[in-house]
Amino acid sequence: MAIHLEKQIESVIGHFKRGSRIVILTGAGISAESGIPTFRGKDGLWEKYDPNEVATAEALRLRPKNVWEMHDALRQTINSCEPNPAHFAIAELEKFLKNIVIITQNVDNKHQDAGSTSVLELHGNAWRVKCTVENKSWIDRTVPIKELPPRCSCGAILRPDVVFFGEQLDKDVLDEAYTEAARAEIMLVIGTSCVVTPAAYLPIIAKQSDAILIEINLEPSPIYSLFDASLCGKAGMIMPKLVKRLREKFE
């Protein structure tokens, strides 16, 4: 590990106190090392797909098969990938520092698969499907889905229970995320480009409440000036080291 990063980790550890309220905001970058593509940048999903064609309510209404083909492909990728050391490090952190909430923009369930329990999913979950008429939702882990688009027993088309472009986030989940961000004493922002709102407001809210903000990303995000520390590198390399040092400090 570069000496610089090692020093940065040591100075970051200094901010943590026993009982600190910690919020961890994650994005697609935390799952990149699992093999799940991010959205932006080279090889990002939005390079391969036009979100207007596959991730809007209108696209689902006009071209449900297209929308489901993309989503089914994503579900197959997610199904074939395991949580990585960053997910496991966060799950371990939750075990020995109790005051932790994970707010994720990811729909891949990898935090829960790694053992995390306190997870707010801002953008839904790829394993949940929802009836477009009855609005009821349930988990369906079938991969691949046998017939696209899948239908509810009532005959209506199902949708993935994820947030499409132009849609509101679940109000209860978002309110809870805002509350947690405002109460945070430390916020770790991991693997997100911080360009999609309202998720990108959360570090701002935390900062306004005097939280210490720490970013872990391949490169500093556009809101880097907000952060007290930016640790540049792979989350799967940095998070286990950070958690190891926190365990040494608190156990």
Binding footprint of ligand OAD on the chain (CB under 6 A): 27-29, 32-33, 38-40, 44, 105, 123, 163, 191-193, 196, 216-219, 221, 234-236
- Please identify, using beta-carbon distances, which residue of 19 and 222 lies nearer to ligand OAD: 222
- Please identify, using beta-carbon distances, which residue of 99 and 120 lies nearer to ligand OAD: 120
**Distance of alpha carbon 144 from the chain centroid:** 23
Q: Do residues 205 and 198 make contact, with C-beta atoms less than 8 angstroms apart?
A: no
123 annotated active-site: yes
Write down the least CB distance from residue 221 to ligand OAD, Å. Answer: 6
Write down the least CB distance from residue 199 to ligand OAD, Å. Answer: 6
- Please identify, using beta-carbon distances, which residue of 8 and 192 lies nearer to ligand OAD: 192
- 204/246 Cα distance (integer angstroms): 25
Residues near 88 by beta carbon (within 8 Å), at least 6 away in sequence: 114, 115, 240
Residues near 234 by beta carbon (within 8 Å), at least 6 away in sequence: 32, 33, 86, 218
Peptide bond into 83 cis (omega under 30): no
Write down the least CB distance from residue 77 to ligand OAD, Å. Answer: 14
List residues with catalytic annotation. Answer: 123
